[in-house]
Structure 1
């Protein structure tokens, strides 16, 4: 009765609420797990132990084989060779089985790690099509034709590329004359008239085929192969039967999405070019997957890479080609390996892109990476326009024709210079070899176009930037983080500052709060006046040259300093380059430009200003680090072979940074190494370091982790 009153009567049927076993909570005061508590649980340690185990098994098999053959074998401990001798043998063995691949926009360099120099193969593939690339449009540089009753007629050379180009060309020529007179160099008043009058009346000489000792053997495609790669593709006649069209899978340092309709076809072309180059140039008989698995591969990637590009190369190398193991190295780091520099600023002047990056103690400084979309091809196009402006006798030149493209590249390499002492009226000749016709010998004169064309790196407004963003992100989207959904491609504050200066309206960050002015310890200038905050987009004209405000005191001081061509007299000094040791380093600022807007801005910027920006972000206000980087600048790449490029760039930087004039030193690759192969040479050295290189990725690891293995194996933060 009492239970019914207080509600304590038992009403259940003595059955459990569930048939599942009830897990009792653990004792929170006394529990222990062994996750990642022992070295054997780490992937790197397990793989090292597995490699040591395989080596021990191999030694035992060699010992048993020697005993079976009747050879005298000492005690087991005597089987171990001297450490130095074993390391040398390992390096030779690894080098004989390691292939180094450096993919560029115009050339592919491939070779064994033990080779002295790589094989250079054009990064191009020719596929059957209805029309060749020269038949699709008027060509490049695009000539403006006007139709008359009697057919097509070329307009006057001065008007062929429009008034805008003519005005820029004449302005650069006048500036060069002023500079040469200041440097006490002789300038003839009628030099251009002498060039144009000679080029107008000159005619070509015909050389028959049997008298031409350097005639070209053109590729025969009468049997109609599906594709042709490399140098043979460039030797296919434009009017061949069947027709072939050239495809360049890499353009401006990124994949070429404009000329393709499928991402799989794009990466398949890259794979086909690499595969054919390895088989033909290295003369390796690789027929089965087992043959490929005996070789390792070192792949060079850009400093300012895209994650999807790297992951696709990893899949291509391991899954498609079937290499035994693969590792990656960045271009600037490979260049520092090849040149033997531990701390330096690498300037890579390539065919279609220019990259700037600072390396310190064997590591790339992320925020110093700069990628500009111009290079040797832009110099070639500007050179062709300038000589046509001066009535070049071969006026129907078309850079979309294969033999014309190779001819103009050859003329640029022979005649372009950056030395003012070489500027005078010069007489040159060249041979035009085209399929289906006799060789023609032309003579022509040049004047200042040989120096004004490469000066486009310092005054990029003369370069043609049309179409360089066409098709961007049409096939391949950027990489996104799987957790927050934000883009996770590498970023660089130096690149963001350059893009913000080009397009200030793209800056989305709010203006910073005003800071109290601190006096600089060198010259007493207010630091805020010397170094405006990078969050504020500097007002710049369309040509991309930064302009200071009227009240900037450094600008007024630099107005009295004579500046070389390509540098505005009002360009302010970067504040980080004049920061005293007494100033406390400021916290690293967030990038002022949104990641989504970067693909909409074409990074075209004067080369000296881009170098200063890169070093500024690498030094982070340290005068000592600034001097170290300025004194160890190395220029590499094919475009750096222009005569006098290093001296002109050094003079330009010294005028831009007069307070560091004595420290600035630009060097070339040591040991007379070709500037085009420094990156490949460093990657070959990296691939031979079998004992210290722990960044190899094999098929076993890739099969289990996929692209996540890159986060564990790369030498930098993935």
Structure 2
């Protein structure tokens, strides 16, 4: 090839003037078309790119005719000159200075976080304390002299050091070895040695006895309630009972309108007292049931008995009793003798003559904090009153050094988390206990009664709780909380007496003195014994501060039985009307037993901020009045339609009208239907109904009345031991119906299936589905179910008596004291360090209930 034929390298003129894109022809230049065999130099300098199609060629031609300043290359060159272009490739800087971390292959690593007991601080601390106790025991056994004064107050081992104890033990061992070497031989005969061994065994036995006696000496049991707070050491036989009330001085005096005594009453033209038509209607219903019961037990009721008692009462006048003749004279507190006192607690508050400068405050109502009271303006006032009451009780019990003591708090079965956590805060921060543990009331009651399985019915002052306990655990779906108790019985009893011309017509239950009188009348006279129902004459003493005592005589008839029967006819209590109970009358929401957040923040989930209080299937069914019937038990429960998939309701209205016996049947049935349970447990629970609290258990004849009421209302199929056969029959019917429904659906899909369409893709209209549903309703043969029920035997109802005639009011507290002395409870104590570190999470780790 000649030099002329060689391709000449292109010259390098100024880029800004001659540089063009590779696929673009400069303006004014002519394009040269080369043939397949052509060797034109222009074809070698400009190689055509890949074809871009029709639109690409058109755009290429359009770009050739654009003005120079609108061409992309020109624009890019201008931006480069001004220095505002993008130059990622030139400066080499990345988008971030953080290096990307490569992913870890999960097959090559694992974690043991929170998979071992040693990783939980609670368990580590508990094991350390146990090791300390064992070393101290060995130190005592080795004969070492221990400074008792140094260790007598230390109960929680928070300040102990293992190394110090080991050092002291080694020193004692060295001393013992040196003494043995110096003796050089044995002294005494074998008989003497045997005598010494026997004496050592006797001494060890005595020490063991002393140690067992000391167990629980550092444990305080606390059971707060609406009416009373019970507190005492676990080693005490009975607790101290303190009324949950405190008298405080008010900066702003409040005057009580004494012109209208409560309960509010009306007087007709004949001078008879009445309340309202609804009360009279409910009284007539209860009276009808009472007379039917008397006829069933062949008890004779004399006609006009009520009128006879009323006529006698109208003629009665009070008899003034001098102080020296008053058998139960009450010593009132004279405020002039205590000029510096700012509060009076418990019994002293009830002995205090309240005037316009003082007021009685009730920090707990309905088993919860009285945060809707008009007398409390901040949560600190509620917590301060409770702290004052407890500290005053501890002083009277001579319990000191609280930081070295433990307290077992008895909490409700269907508890409010904010209530429990606030109590723990009070016990740690305000009172100063070293350790806190919790136990539910029903579990404590079973410990006190010595029963492993029971249906616990706790009728308290203002609430009634029902829970089923099996092997020391509360069955969650069996828990119930009703809004009535012993105080409602007292109020209704006074109403019935007033309608029967009670001689003390001006009784005002809001007054603490008259309320105490009403409680005394209830405790002395109400009964469920049919044989005691007759016109009887009684008397009582009216006492007021610094006034002469007055004695009244009056007659009663059926009022003594109608009032407690309100537990089985709650409409008689008229819970939707304004109340005259002193503690409830101070609250704007006396029937509300759930913390809403006026003063105390309600419990909520940390992530969703939704209420996270425990709920019960039985409680939710009561709120909707959806009680156990044949259909709902046999069909709905076994088709999983009653599972609690919705958040618990906050309405309390229906809880006011649920009779006690129906609630018991509901609780026991749900306990038998609970997961991981069996229907055989129902018979066991009916045979072990444990009634505690002072609202019902202290009324004579309550066991027979409760047994009759349960047998009256309990459906036949729930009373038979063949209930498992009934459930099996119903399950078979439900399965057959479901199979038939699926068969009809498959046939309808085949009928409406189009060509080439899969049968799974066929969608039926709602009308077709409704027609199939109507054809496949579950139909049960009730006569056959009746015949199955007849094959079984009647499940007996047995109400357990209190053990060894123990006071049923104290039974729950006594069970807490038994529980607090068990060795296993050493794992359940929460220390102040634990509470400061984890707060309410401690209750999740350190309680036997599913907190």
Q: What CA RMSD, in Å, does the superposition of the two structures yield over aligned residues?
A: 3.5
Correspondence for 2:734: none
Selected match of 2:131 from 53, 56, 66: 53
Cα 1:445–1:700 change in 2 (3 A) is same
Distance (whole Å) between structure 1 residues aligned to residue 649 and residue 826 of structure 2: 36
Selected match of 1:591 from 639, 644, 652: 644
Q: Does the 8 A contact of 1:496 with 1:593 survive in 2?
A: no
Cα 1:229–1:645 change in 2 (3 A) is same
User: CA-to-partner distance for each residue in 1:15-56, whole Å, 9 max, x for gaps?
Assistant: 777655664544444224342455422334312321123325
Distance (whole Å) between structure 2 residues aligned to residue 41 and residue 156 of structure 1: 79
Report the secondary structure of 2:436's partner residue: strand
Is 1:460 the counterpart of 2:570? The answer is yes
Correspondence for 1:143: 265
Distance (whole Å) between structure 1 residues aligned to residue 205 and residue 651 of structure 2: 50
Correspondence for 1:485: 609
Report the secondary structure of 2:428's partner residue: helix
| Offset at residue 163 of structure 1 (A) | 2.8
User: CA-to-partner distance for each residue in 1:644-701, whole Å, 9 max, x for gaps?
Assistant: 1111010111222353545211112211111001100010011111345421100111
Selected match of 1:427 from 528, 537, 540: 537
Q: Does the 8 A contact of 2:623 with 2:653 survive in 1?
A: no
Distance (whole Å) between structure 2 residues aligned to residue 584 and residue 373 of structure 1: 27
Matches within 5 A, 1:152-167: 158-167=272-281
Distance (whole Å) between structure 1 residues aligned to residue 127 and residue 285 of structure 2: 68
Report the secondary structure of 2:220's partner residue: strand
Q: Does the 8 A contact of 2:819 with 2:825 survive in 1?
A: no
Correspondence for 1:703: 836
Is 1:332 the counterpart of 2:442? The answer is yes
Cα 1:156–1:385 change in 2 (3 A) is farther
User: CA-to-partner distance for each residue in 1:138-169, whole Å, 9 max, x for gaps?
Assistant: 34322348xxxxxxxx9766443123323332
Cα 1:530–1:126 change in 2 (3 A) is closer
Is 1:266 the counterpart of 2:421? The answer is no
Cα 1:182–1:339 change in 2 (3 A) is closer
Is 1:173 the counterpart of 2:272? The answer is no
Q: Does the 8 A contact of 2:309 with 2:500 survive in 1?
A: yes
Is 1:638 the counterpart of 2:694? The answer is yes
- Tell me which protein shows more helix as a share of its residues: 2
Is 1:188 the counterpart of 2:298? The answer is no
Distance (whole Å) between structure 1 residues aligned to residue 540 and residue 177 of structure 2: 71
Correspondence for 1:245: 359
Count residues with an aligned counterpart. Answer: 626
Say which structure, 1 or 2, has more relative contact order (CA 8 Å, 6+ apart). Answer: 1
Correspondence for 1:102: 223
Is 1:375 the counterpart of 2:485? The answer is yes
Is 1:283 the counterpart of 2:398? The answer is yes
Q: Does the 8 A contact of 1:144 with 1:161 survive in 2?
A: yes
Report the secondary structure of 2:108's partner residue: coil
Report the secondary structure of 1:638's partner residue: coil
Distance (whole Å) between structure 1 residues aligned to residue 205 and residue 850 of structure 2: 33
Q: Does the 8 A contact of 1:298 with 1:326 survive in 2?
A: yes
Correspondence for 1:716: 849
Selected match of 2:331 from 217, 222, 226: 217
Report the secondary structure of 1:180's partner residue: helix
Q: More displaced, 190-199 or 593-602?
A: 593-602
Correspondence for 2:247: 126
Distance (whole Å) between structure 2 residues aligned to residue 500 and residue 347 of structure 1: 22
Is 1:607 the counterpart of 2:660? The answer is yes
Q: Does the 8 A contact of 2:414 with 2:480 survive in 1?
A: yes
Selected match of 1:411 from 500, 505, 521: 521
Cα 1:157–1:310 change in 2 (3 A) is farther
Q: Does the 8 A contact of 1:359 with 1:365 survive in 2?
A: yes
Distance (whole Å) between structure 2 residues aligned to residue 689 and residue 487 of structure 1: 34
User: CA-to-partner distance for each residue in 1:300-347, whole Å, 9 max, x for gaps?
Assistant: 010011001111111111122111100000000000010011111000
Correspondence for 1:627: 683
Cα 1:656–1:27 change in 2 (3 A) is closer
Selected match of 1:532 from 599, 622, 631: 631
Is 1:33 the counterpart of 2:111? The answer is yes
Distance (whole Å) between structure 2 residues aligned to residue 121 and residue 481 of structure 1: 35
Distance (whole Å) between structure 1 residues aligned to residue 421 and residue 117 of structure 2: 29
Distance (whole Å) between structure 2 residues aligned to residue 680 and residue 214 of structure 1: 29
Cα 1:68–1:619 change in 2 (3 A) is closer
| Offset at residue 82 of structure 1 (A) | 11
| Offset at residue 401 of structure 1 (A) | 1.4
Report the secondary structure of 2:804's partner residue: coil
Distance (whole Å) between structure 2 residues aligned to residue 616 and residue 137 of structure 1: 50
Correspondence for 1:116: 237
Q: Does the 8 A contact of 1:169 with 1:462 survive in 2?
A: yes
Distance (whole Å) between structure 1 residues aligned to residue 226 and residue 256 of structure 2: 20
Matches within 5 A, 1:185-584: 185-222=299-336, 223=339, 225-239=341-355, 243-259=357-373, 260-280=376-396, 282-284=397-399, 286=400, 291-465=401-575, 466-467=577-578, 470-471=588-589, 472=592, 473=596, 474-501=598-625, 531-533=630-632, 575=633
Distance (whole Å) between structure 1 residues aligned to residue 827 and residue 495 of structure 2: 50
Cα 1:655–1:205 change in 2 (3 A) is same
Report the secondary structure of 2:226's partner residue: coil
User: CA-to-partner distance for each residue in 1:372-425, whole Å, 9 max, x for gaps?
Assistant: 011110000000011111101111111111221111101111100011211100
Cα 1:689–1:496 change in 2 (3 A) is same
Q: Does the 8 A contact of 1:351 with 1:376 survive in 2?
A: yes
TM-score, structure 1 as length reference:
0.80
User: CA-to-partner distance for each residue in 1:326-373, whole Å, 9 max, x for gaps?
Assistant: 000000000001001111100011111111000011100011001001
Report the secondary structure of 1:532's partner residue: helix
Distance (whole Å) between structure 2 residues aligned to residue 386 and residue 496 of structure 1: 33
| Offset at residue 178 of structure 1 (A) | 3.9
User: CA-to-partner distance for each residue in 1:690-716, whole Å, 9 max, x for gaps?
Assistant: 345421100111111111111111112
